[in-house]
Structure 1
Amino acid sequence: MKGSVTLRIAAPPSVVWDLISDVTRIGEFSPETFEAEWVDGATGPELGAHFRGHVRRNGIGPVYWTSCKVTSCIPERDFGFTVYGAGARINNWRYQLRPDGEGTEVTESFALQTNALTRVYWAAFGLLRGRTNRRGMLRTLERMKAVAEAA
């Protein structure tokens, strides 16, 4: 009920961090989340900040909003958030940055919350959804890489 991808970006952690932690730019990179906005008074990345993401599942639909809360915010190192549904934690997303010479190694990961509902979901759709998530994470990081390396 989890997965990750890692990609090296030929840009310093500060440049990569700015792309990853600015949730309002996710629409430029993600194949599923086409917009996001800070909510509840949040204006940028900080521990406990809330935002919402507008998702087009599998890139085709259905379309819905998710509520999210920043769970890790260590500049140039670690940005994580939890996605909520019906008031309960559903999924945890995380970006970990590691300096690598003059570039940055970035790992994007997800981990579904473990409960009866997610166990049933993962048993039925896990193979397909896991593959879709890994493909989407790689596409997201490749698009960030193109922007970061052009800067």
Structure 2
Amino acid sequence: MTVTNPRDKLTYTAPLATGDVRVDASPDEVYELVSDPVAMAAFAEEFYKAKWIRGATGPAVGNWFSGSNRNGWRRWVTHAEITEAEPGRRFAYRVRTPFFVPISRWEYDMEPDGTGCRLTVTNWLRVPGWFVPIAIFITGQPDRAATNTGNIATTLTRLKAHFER
């Protein structure tokens, strides 16, 4: 499967990792949280802190945020540009290193489901081959697909608990 996203002019192969969950919250409520990386850091695993950068103060196409990540003693920072921001429907961004190496793309899709919604998280890897050994060294994760699949599951479990508490 190949996905071409006209908003960021890139073509992606099959997703690296994906997961979904049904939550008892409206798509608008879910979007409000998942489109706020500062708040989302509380629900994620490796990603633990974010701040808006380049003058951004909220989710809009073209806005940027910085993410701080960790795995054990390892720490790294990424920069992300929002590529889609459709309230109640989709929030997506592409991630790169602070020195311009592409890393990944993340999408959060919300669909109405009865009185709640289905939230699907999808991740594509965009790392160039030459950077893979460096990324493994930095993150300590040689199996990024398994790591991201597990991290997505953890994040979705935490989000569901948050919305249904």
TM range (shorter): 0.7 to 0.9
Question: Alignment partner of 2:41: what SS?
Answer: helix
Deviations 1:107-126 (A, max 9, x none): 1111011633367789xx99
Question: Hey, what does 1:102 align to over in structure 2?
Answer: 115
Question: Hey, what does 1:68 align to over in structure 2?
Answer: 80
Per the TM alignment, residue 10 of structure 1 is displaced from its structure 2 partner at its CA by 1.3
Question: Hey, what does 1:2 align to over in structure 2?
Answer: 16
- Conservation of the 8 A alpha-carbon contact between 1:71 and 1:80: yes
- Conservation of the 8 A alpha-carbon contact between 1:39 and 1:50: yes
Question: Alignment partner of 2:21: what SS?
Answer: strand
Deviations 1:91-131 (A, max 9, x none): 10111111111111011111011633367789xx9983211
Aligned residues: 146
- Conservation of the 8 A alpha-carbon contact between 1:27 and 1:35: yes
- Conservation of the 8 A alpha-carbon contact between 1:94 and 1:108: yes
Q: Is it true that 1:129 corresponds to 2:144 in the alignment? A: yes
TM-score (norm 1): 0.87
For structure 2, which runs of at least 5 residues remain unmatched after alignment?
1-14
TM-score (norm 2): 0.80
Q: 2:126 aligns with which of 97, 104, 113?
A: 113
Q: Is it true that 1:91 corresponds to 2:104 in the alignment? A: yes
What pairs with 1:45-60 in structure 2 (closer than 5 Å)?
A: 45-57=59-71, 60=72
Q: Is it true that 1:142 corresponds to 2:157 in the alignment? A: yes
Question: Hey, what does 1:81 align to over in structure 2?
Answer: 93
Question: Hey, what does 2:48 align to over in structure 1?
Answer: 34
Deviations 1:72-102 (A, max 9, x none): 1111111111111221321101111111111
Answer 1 or 2: which has greater helix percent. Answer: 1
Identity in percent: 30
Return the alpha-carbon distance in structure 2 between the equivalents of residues 64 and 20 of structure 1.
21
Question: Hey, what does 2:3 align to over in structure 1?
Answer: none
2:31 is matched by which residue type in structure 1? W
- Conservation of the 8 A alpha-carbon contact between 1:19 and 1:144: no
1:5 is matched by which residue type in structure 2? G
User: Over the residues paired in the alignment, what is the CA RMSD in angstroms?
Assistant: 2.2
- Conservation of the 8 A alpha-carbon contact between 2:102 and 2:126: yes
